[in-house]
């Protein structure tokens, strides 16, 4: 696919972008380089290559998620500037 000034202007319009003349010319060059690179990738033989789902072989090492109450409510509310015994109280911000 050939990228020209008209194509860039159409893409900019669809993307709601306002490009100056210099930016538009630079975009033609940049998009052409990207498409040329993609054409080079198409030349590679990938018949025996498995598709990737992740870029790394690493396994998730997170701890198991176990529900618990490590901080009692009373202790958590102890230093609160304003509370009602169950929850923090904050000033109303939405009318």
pLDDT band at 14; cut points 50, 70, 90: very high
Structure tokens at 56: 């790394």
**DSSP state for residue 58 in the 8-state scheme:** P
Q: How many domains does the chain have?
A: 1
Instruction: Give CA separation, 64 vs 20, 50, 57, 60, in Å.
Output: 53, 30, 20, 11
pLDDT band at 92; cut points 50, 70, 90: confident
Does 50 reside within a domain? Answer: no
Residue 11's nearest CA partner among 41, 34, 39 is 34
Does 36 reside within a domain? Answer: yes
Does 10 reside within a domain? Answer: yes
Compute the average pLDDT of residues 52-72. 82
Domain containing residue 37: CATH number: 1.10.20
Gap between the Cα atoms of 26 and 4, Å rounded: 11
Gap between the Cα atoms of 52 and 17, Å rounded: 34
Does 13 reside within a domain? Answer: yes
Domain extent for 12: 5-42
Does 16 reside within a domain? Answer: yes
């Amino acid at each position: 696919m050939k990228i020209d000034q008209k194509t860039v202007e159409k893409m900019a319009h669809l993307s709601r972008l306002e490009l100056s003349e210099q930016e538009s010319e630079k975009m033609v060059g940049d998009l052409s380089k990207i498409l040329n690179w993609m054409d080079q990738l198409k030349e590679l033989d990938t018949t025996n290559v498995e598709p990737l789902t992740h870029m790394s072989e690493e396994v998730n090492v997170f701890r198991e998620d176990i529900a618990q109450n490590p901080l009692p409510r009373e202790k958590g509310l102890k230093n609160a500037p304003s509370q009602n015994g169950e929850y923090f109280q904050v000033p109303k911000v939405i009318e």
